[in-house]
């Protein structure tokens, strides 16, 4: 039997963010979140279990990789081995078609692709909900890269019911994400560590108390294709998450001057009648959302702002899949 499989998954951009856990070890979130998959961007991962291997191996973007990245992958493979009753080590070969560590959530597509490839290679055939639960254990936001299109992570109450579902397929709404890259530097504190600090901000309790309202507004805006409503709740949610980050102990400041310049320019475009809105993850780059028909114009505009190195564009993407 060939214990090998290859899977592809897209990163996702959250409109309603995940930041803070009820259980750090199981990555059970303190609240639900909503995102869309980014179809032009992907991680492709091949997992091969081999009796001859003494330890798990990782090749990332052509480079043999050890240290924390390999340890995180090996811990995840332990979960898969436990489910499949397998004790062979694996060779993992993974590549992204986008830069890592820049606020484009590479861990989401990475653990979604790894969950699908590793379970298939181990002979398991999981349901979408089971795969999403498993991907969550690698990186919280990875559970949202398993289903397709517009996705909601149901916070749930325990390991079994905390997983993501599709709330609308990719073709439901032709949105685009124009990512203004203002820095390619690796972030100082990654989201896994930052997430564990959320509860130290006095603002986190207020953010969580208001989360059901924002989730309802966002879900309704997507289902009704109401861009104005989506813009209002998406910017509010991003600003609230960054207020928590900036006021945690230690404080996390992910914005740079160019980050704020793009955010202000986007508000200016919207005031001038061009529908666009911003959202920022755990990094300095700005995701500018718009309807696909306006993406060219908007990408051109933000690409000409000082401090913007590049604009990466993507439409809405489908589910994680075998290739
Ligand atoms: O899943 P993680 O640990 O990469 O955390 C993701 C955190 C944010 O990207 C900032 C928000 C989100 O919901 O994607």
* pLDDT tens figures, 26-49: 999 999 999 999 999 999 999 999
Residues 142, 135 contacting (CB under 8 angstroms): yes
**Is residue 166 domain-shared with residue 205, that is, in the same domain?**
no
- For ligand 1, is residue 33 a contact (CB within 6 Å)? yes
Please tell me whether residues 135 and 190 are part of one structural domain: no
Average pLDDT, integer, range 213-234 = 98
CA-nearest residue for atom 4, ligand 1, is: 191
In terms of domains, do 20 and 162 share one?
yes
In a domain, 151, yes or no: yes
Please provide residue 148's backbone torsions phi and psi, each rounded to the nearest 5 degrees. -95, 160
The string of pLDDT tens digits covering residues 15-25 is 999 999 999 99
- What is the pLDDT, as a whole number, of residue 106? 81
Report residue 1's pLDDT band, with 50, 70 and 90 as the boundaries.
low
Please choose, from the candidates 238, 235, 121, 256, the residue with its C-alpha nearest in 3D space to the C-alpha of residue 187: 256
Q: What is the pLDDT of residue 62?
A: 94
H helices of the chain, where?
A: 68-84, 106-121, 128-138, 191-195, 204-209, 211-223, 227-246, 257-271, 295-303
The domain that holds 126 is classified in CATH as 3.30.230.10
The pLDDT of residue 128 is above 90: yes
For residues 176-193, average pLDDT: 84
Q: What is the mean pLDDT of residues 227-249?
A: 98
How much is the average pLDDT of 125-141? 97
| CB-based contact 214:236 (threshold 8 Å) | yes
**pLDDT digit string (tens) for 244-276?**
999 999 999 999 999 999 999 999 999 999 999
Band of pLDDT at residue 105, cut at 50, 70 and 90: low
Split at pLDDT 50, 70, 90, the class of 102 is: low
| Binding site membership of 36 for ligand 1 (Cβ less than 6 Å) | no
Question: Which residue from 104, 98, 94, 92 is spatially nearest to 50, judged by alpha carbons?
Answer: 92
- Residue 210 and residue 204: Cα distance in Å, rounded? 10
Q: Which of 17, 30, 105 to mutate to test the pocket of ligand 1 (most atoms within 8 A of CB)?
A: 105
148-154: average pLDDT: 98
Probe residue for ligand 1, chosen from 103, 142, 282 as the CB with the greatest number of ligand atoms within 8 Å: 282
Does residue 122 form part of some domain? yes
**Domain co-membership, 39 together with 128:** yes
Q: Which helix (H) or strand (E) holds 277?
A: strand 276-279
Mean pLDDT along residues 155-162: 95
Domain hosting residue 32, numbered range: 3-171
Q: Are residues 164 and 190 in the same domain?
A: no
Give phi and psi for 305, each to the nearest 5.
-75, 145
* Residue finishing a domain among 128, 146, 171: 171
**pLDDT for 300-317, tens place per residue?**
999 999 999 999 999 999
């Amino acid at each position: 039997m060939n214990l090998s499989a290859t899977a592809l998954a897209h990163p996702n951009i959250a409109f309603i963010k995940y930041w803070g856990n009820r259980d750090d070890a199981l990555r059970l979130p303190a609240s639900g979140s909503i995102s869309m998959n980014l179809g032009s961007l992907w991680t492709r991962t091949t997992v091969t279990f081999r009796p001859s291997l003494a330890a798990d191996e990782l090749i990332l973007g052509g480079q043999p990789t050890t240290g924390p990245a390999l340890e995180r992958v090996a811990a995840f493979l332990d979960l898969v081995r436990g489910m499949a009753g397998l004790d062979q080590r694996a060779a993992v070969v993974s590549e992204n078609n986008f830069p890592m560590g820049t606020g484009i959530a590479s861990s989401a597509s990475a653990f979604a692709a790894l969950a699908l490839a590793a379970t298939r290679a181990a002979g398991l055939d999981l349901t979408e909900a089971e795969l999403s639960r498993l991907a969550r254990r690698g990186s919280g936001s990875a559970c949202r890269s398993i289903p397709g299109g517009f996705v909601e992570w149901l916070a749930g109450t325990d390991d079994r019911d905390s997983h993501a579902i599709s709330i609308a397929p990719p073709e439901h709404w032709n949105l685009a994400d124009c990512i203004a890259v203002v820095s390619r530097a690796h972030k100082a504190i990654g989201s896994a560590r930052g997430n564990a600090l959320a509860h130290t901000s006095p603002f986190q309790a207020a953010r969580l108390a208001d989360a059901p309202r924002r989730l309802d507004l966002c879900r309704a805006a997507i289902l009704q294709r109401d861009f104005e409503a989506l813009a209002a709740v998406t910017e509010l949610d991003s600003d609230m998450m960054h207020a928590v980050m900036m006021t945690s102990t230690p404080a996390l400041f992910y914005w740079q001057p160019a980050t704020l310049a793009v955010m202000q320019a986007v508000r200016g475009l919207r005031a001038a009648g061009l529908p666009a809105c911003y959202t920022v993850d755990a990094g300095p780059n700005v995701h500018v959302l718009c309807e696909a028909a306006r993406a060219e114009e908007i990408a051109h505009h933000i690409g000409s702002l000082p401090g913007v190195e590049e604009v990466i564009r993507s439409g809405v993407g489908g589910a994680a899949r075998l290739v």
